[in-house]
Amino acid sequence: MKPIQMVDLKTQYQKIKPEIDKAVIDVLESSAYINGKPVHEFCANLAQYLSVKHVIPCANGTDALQIAMMALGLEPGDEVITPSFTYIATTEVVALLRLKPVFVEVDAKTFCMDAEALRKAITTKTKAIVPVHLYGQAANMEEIMKVAGEHNIAVIEDNAQAIGCDYTFSDGAKKKTGTIGTIGTTSFFPSKNLGGYGDGGAIFTNDDALAKKMTMIANHGQSKKYYHDIVGCNSRLDTLQAAILNIKLKELDNYIAARRQAADFYDAAFASDAKITTPVRAHYSNHVFHQYTMLVEGVDRDALVAHLASKNIPSMIYYPVPGHKQQMFASSGIGEYNLAITDWLTERVISLPIHTELEETQLIYITDSVLEFIK
């Protein structure tokens, strides 16, 4: 049996090695390392895949969120509503831009923003809503967009963990996550479902004016070379990463299918154990399983992590400290929060290895090891 990893990028690379190697060499021979032809090709192909009008490339998923907020013209003190149960990048940029994060509760089953909690958190200072499609599961965008529409508030979808996920509306219509709100953002960090071999990110929108503004912001606020009309930043997707991502984009649906197959195995293996709650798959979302995150009840989670590690099985806690309890916000005047569901989840979630290259022997070994400890 091969060593078990949270993500096996090496084996995945070996399967597409000839294409990847040729693409990389082509970039090296072109010497167009910045804004080369593959960048434009990848953006066009990704826009087609997502059925979105504009894809703006940038350096990483955190920059994507920052550029989106800058493009909306948010001012210091404006409130941005976001779940506390998410990776820190979602709220880090809020603080960086001197905006005020307003943390809301998540749904205990889907782990994504609760629409009713969102509704109650809106004030006259609310200027943006940032739902997170956590672990590969879509947030309830139909309800979130309904609330946002009632108050004319922009929605920025944090789609870093759910690229390729389909959201199904109550009328049967489908859209890719990241294309439903005002703006969508994603990350191409190597471990993502669509990951590069370095950092990268992108922003999506169907709004022509916002697309133009975000393109300018990502390139020093330039309207044309050396003419800087607005304050911007330096955030680019380099040509090498774009060339790699263009190849991997063709495999994305296959990668998602492989992750879902591994998740199916886990679900079946743990189905009869009352101490384990496997990930709920919302009826409106085709979960793409960036992470396989389950809940354990009546189990010493830290001891389980140690037990798995002793058997050379990695596992992770995403995330042990929610945003509203992070030290970085201690002096920012965000106030006290009572987010019982969020706190409850942080004490019970555990993520098992999930990727495109998991073999049945590995899955059997992982599930047997978990059940051995729990029973």
Q: What is the pLDDT along the chain (375 residues), one digit of tens a residue?
A: 999 999 999 999 999 999 999 999 999 999 999 999 999 999 999 999 999 999 999 999 999 999 999 999 999 999 999 999 999 999 999 999 999 999 999 999 999 999 999 999 999 999 999 999 999 999 999 999 999 999 999 999 999 999 999 999 999 999 999 999 999 999 999 999 999 999 999 999 999 999 999 999 999 999 999 999 999 999 999 999 999 999 999 999 999 999 999 999 999 999 999 999 999 999 999 999 999 999 999 999 999 999 999 999 999 999 999 999 999 888 777 878 999 999 999 999 999 999 999 999 999 999 999 999 998
Within 8 A by CB and 6+ apart from 174, the residues are 166, 167, 168
Q: Are both 73 and 202 inside the same structural domain?
A: yes
3 lies in some domain: no
Q: Are both 48 and 175 inside the same structural domain?
A: yes
267 lies in some domain: yes
Residue 338 and residue 175: Cα distance in Å, rounded?
Answer: 34
Q: Are both 204 and 322 inside the same structural domain?
A: no
Q: Number of folded domains in the chain?
A: 2
2 lies in some domain: no
Strand order in the sheet with 292-296: 276-277, 292-296, 349-352
Which pTM was predicted? 0.97
Single out the residue in 228, 249, 270 at which a domain terminates.
249
- In this structure, are residues 91 and 32 in contact, taking their beta carbons and an 8 Å threshold? no
Q: Are both 220 and 303 inside the same structural domain?
A: no
CATH number at residue 354: 3.90.1150.10
Q: Are both 343 and 361 inside the same structural domain?
A: yes
338 lies in some domain: yes
Q: Are both 17 and 117 inside the same structural domain?
A: yes
206 lies in some domain: yes
CATH number at residue 209: 3.40.640.10
Q: Are both 222 and 314 inside the same structural domain?
A: no
* Residue numbers of the domain that contains 285: 252-374
Q: Are both 203 and 305 inside the same structural domain?
A: no
Single out the residue in 233, 249, 265 at which a domain terminates.
249
Instruction: Please list the residues that pair with 156 across neighbouring strands.
Output: 183
